Structure 1
Amino acid sequence: MKEAAVSGGLSLARRRLLRLPRFNRSKLSASDLFVYGAAIAVAIIILCAIVPQWLAPYSPTAMQADQVLLHPSWAHPLGTDYFGRDVLSVVIYGSRDSLIIGFVSVLVGSITGGLIGALAGYAGGIIDTVLMRLVDVLMTIPGVLLALAIAAALGPSLTNVVLAVAAATVPGYARVMRGQIMSMKARPFITASRSIGATGPVIFWRHVLPNSLSPMFVMAAIGIGSSILTGAGLSFLGLGTIKEIPDWGALLSQGRGYLTVAWWICTFPGLAITLFVLSVNILGDRVRDRLDPKRSRG
């Protein structure tokens, strides 16, 4: 009996030891760590844009003649610029306009392009032909060039930059939405809805449109980064916002003349753009993996 009990205890202990490696499988993978890191980076930058006065150590407009072009130090972690302003404070305050350009332009472009694509795909016929030919004309112009032309025509301001960047993204959203709507119209449950007497508007708003939005969400999540890059490019060329507190693109433009003497003036705004765009792209890839049923089955 004692031997049986001992052997039973050993076998139980052995089984418990064999279960220990299973806890290792529950650890986060490398991709999960990247996603969580990207989410933290995006959250911090968004917090900088919402409440910059809580995070900035100095005023972004405070000019000190005796602290011009100081190297990064404990007092000024990112150094100072040619006006004696703290670069860290200017970068934190400049995140607001950069994020407004990225998020609002994606919102405006996705809604406008989505409505055009939905109308063209569901109506068909002459409406589809006319709308898609206009979209094809816009797609022949590179997005950056189209945004540059619109911003130059409207003049430098935050609203005009948002409209210019949004207009450059409209053709892509319209194409994606049209394809989704046309694919959804051919589904069996849409035919069944028609057979029981459902009207066209009811089918569109209750069945076709809600089931066609997933690719738009994915495209919008990934498009935020490219919109910020386009907005920064316009600001770099002098077509962005003209304010006392410049955005990241304007900071790059202002610091390029001092690159050999004060590399930190334009390096850290560039790193801020890189970090945010990279983080948004990582999160966009995760959103795509979650919303794409083909990838989730794979």
Structure 2
Amino acid sequence: MTVKDFVLGKTVWRESKRQTAARPRLRSLGTGDWLAAVSGVILAFAALCALFPGWIAPYSPTSMEADRVLLPPGAAHYFGTDYFGRDIFSVVVYGARDSLLIGVASVLAGGLAGCIIGAAAGIAGGVIDLILMRFIEIVMTIPGILLALAIAAVLGPNLFNMIFAVAVSMVPGFARVFRSQIISVKGRAFITAARSIGMPAPRIFFRHVLPNAWSPVLVMATIGLGTSILTAAGLSFLGLGVVKEIPDWGTLLSQGRGYLTVAWWISTFPGIAITLLVLSGNILGDWLRDRLDPKREQR
């Protein structure tokens, strides 16, 4: 082997090593990734039930069969029937629409209002920050479910009132989180540099502050989806939910509590649906928090 061949071979080996190092490393899926994937499937199935319930439900939710009253779960009726002869599985599928609508709408409304308040307090500072945060702290002294219960009781049972009541109970959390993110980001060196070159304040906010402050809000919104659905189900269970021919999950729980000894399935399966949806939202939120954490160790 000549010196030229040795040098050439060494160069090729270095190039091959560099290309191998440049390839993205395939990281094996951990337990958290699998749980997040299962949670995503559950949430996607719930969304499919809410959007296209007729594709999934085998019966009409308003179909009453006198000869099929209180049938246990079986091949004909997966979740059994209730005291009207309605198929519980079909009622649960159709009831997902109101539950998810209230959950998503209340998170969007409460998150938007909370972020606006938090951004105003974090950017303005001084007296405005003091007034807004003291107001938020006063609201936070009332438990969220109790605040939503009081608002829903005053406004009456209505879909819009339910969304408004749940959204108001979520505003303080979003406001405090977003305010802390705004204060943290606006004190960094690149914000000071942007100010020093005369960049307008609105452009600094939308181009530099907001993109670096939204990730905790996204995680909180994902977790808040399950919380809002649970709160809405609690209000419906207490009789403050939407009065409709097709009951939502909380109303179905309330209707079946008097039949627990003879027909446990009426309340059990809506309760399982609520539990799975809330748990999936929390697991997905924890996974997003880990993925969006800039200090997470790169494997």
**Fold-level similarity (TM above 0.5):** yes
Determine if the alignment matches structure 1 residue 112 to structure 2 residue 113: yes
2:213 counterpart residue number: 212
Match in the other structure for 2:276: 275
Instruction: Tell whether the 8 Å contact from 2:33 to 2:287 is kept in structure 1 after alignment.
Output: no
Q: In the superposition, relative to structure 1, how do residues 191 and 159 fare at CA in structure 2: closer, same or farther (>3 Å)? A: same
Deviation of the 1:73 alpha carbon: 1.4
**2: CA distance, partners of 1:208 / 1:137:** 28
Kindly provide the CA deviation profile for residues 248-298 of structure 1, in whole angstroms up to 9, marking residues without a partner as x: 011000000001110000000000111111111111111111111123459
CA displacement at 1:29 relative to structure 2: 3.2
Which residue identity is paired with 2:199?
A: A
Cα offsets for 1:135-175 (capped at 9, x unmatched): 11101111111111111111101111111111001001000
Q: RMSD of the TM alignment (CA)?
A: 1.4
Other-structure match for 2:230:
229
Instruction: Note if 1:151 corresponds to 2:147.
Output: no
CA contact (8 A) 1:71 1:78 kept: yes
One-letter code aligned to 2:32: S
Paired AA for residue 142 in structure 1: P
Deviations 1:51-100 (A, max 9, x none): 00011000000111111111111111111000000000000000000001
2:58, 2:223 → 1: CA distance? Answer: 32
- Total equivalences in the alignment: 274
Where do 1:168-207 residues align within 5 Å?
Answer: 168-207=169-208
How far is 1:190 from its partner? Answer: 0.7
Secondary structure of the structure 2 residue equivalent to 1:295: coil
Q: Which residue of 1 aligns with 2:102?
A: 101
TM-score, reference length from structure 2: 0.89
Q: Provide the C-alpha distance between the structure 2 equivalents of 1:194 and 1:30, rounded to a whole number of angstroms.
A: 44
Deviations 1:18-60 (A, max 9, x none): xxxxxxx965433332222211111111101110001100000
In structure 1, C-alpha distance between the alignment counterparts of 2:172 and 2:240, rounded to whole Å: 22
Change (3 A) 1:27 1:294: closer
Contact 2:66 2:84 in 1 (8 A): yes
Where 2:232 maps in the other structure, the secondary structure is: helix
> What is aligned with 2:165?
164
- The question of whether the paired residues in 2 share the 8 Å contact of 1:289 and 1:296 is answered with no
Residue 124 of structure 1 corresponds to which residue in structure 2?
125
Residue aligned with 1:240, SS: coil
Amino acid at match of 2:236: S
8 A Cα contact 2:32 2:287, kept in partner: no
Q: CA–CA distance in 2 between the matches of 1:113 and 1:219? A: 12
Q: What per-residue deviation string (whole Å, max 9, x for no partner) do you get for residues 215-248 of structure 1?
A: 1001101111111100100000001110000110
**Paired amino acid for 1:187:** R
Provide structure 1 residue ranges, at least 5 long, that are not aligned to the other structure. Answer: 1-24
Tell me, what secondary structure is at the counterpart of 2:295? helix
Amino acid at match of 2:166: V
- Name the amino acid aligned to 2:190: F
Instruction: Write the distance in 1 (CA, Å) between the matches of 2:88 and 2:267.
Output: 9
Q: Compared with structure 1, are the counterparts of its residues 52 and 127 closer, same or farther at alpha carbon in structure 2 (3 Å cutoff)?
A: same
Q: Is the partner of 1:293 in helix, strand or coil?
A: coil
TM-score normalised by length of structure 1: 0.89
Distance 1:221 1:32 in 2: 16
Identity across the alignment (%)? 65
